[in-house]
Amino acid sequence: MKYGIDIGHNCPPSDIGYVGIRKEDELNKEVGVKVIAKLKELKHEVVYCTPSADSSLSNSLYRRVNKANEENVDLYVSIHFNGGRGDGTEVFAISESSKKTAKRVVDEIAQLGYVNRGVKDGSFLYLLKNTKMPAILVEAGFLDSKDDMERFNAENIANAIVNGITTF
């Protein structure tokens, strides 16, 4: 299978993500790099969809989607952490097939001890509504939650994401 992996934000200077107890860019990258390596170990093709730099958030988003669409990936996965005084994990999706994948991913992450906030409607998210393939946006935990940040382990979250997207 061909996966488009988007390590959320990580596109300075315009797209750097949320800062709470930890920085979103850093955690997204810790997890994303491991997800890519694990998928390659499983002999899947991986397309890296994160631009290295950009002048605006809107152009950063456009380039991520455009890369996935041009490369005709089978599944687009955008990796993030949340902010806003909550706890737990949630995954955004739009199509029925992406919602099934999202459910597997959110359940896998929740097994690590995170509150399971479920699958959420992602129809308002540029990344999900502009990709031509099934797509999910993972919010692996809350950066401003002491519990979530104490529980954070990049290896475990990467394993949970990979298990969720490769199990059918």
Topology (CATH level 3) of domain 2-166: Aminopeptidase (3.40.630)
Q: How many CB atoms are located within 10 Å of the residue 166 CB?
A: 16
What are the structural domain ranges in the chain? Answer: 2-166
Residue type, 75: L
Write out pLDDT tens, residues 89-131: 999 999 999 999 999 999 999 999 999 999 999 999 999 999 9
DSSP label at residue 9: S
Write out pLDDT tens, residues 11-20: 877 778 899 9
Q: How confident is the model at residue 52 (pLDDT cuts 50, 70, 90)?
A: confident
Whole-angstrom distance, CA of residue 59 vs CA of residue 57: 5
Strand pairing of 75-82 and 116-121? unpaired
Torsion of CA 78, 7, 3, 132, to 10 degrees: 50
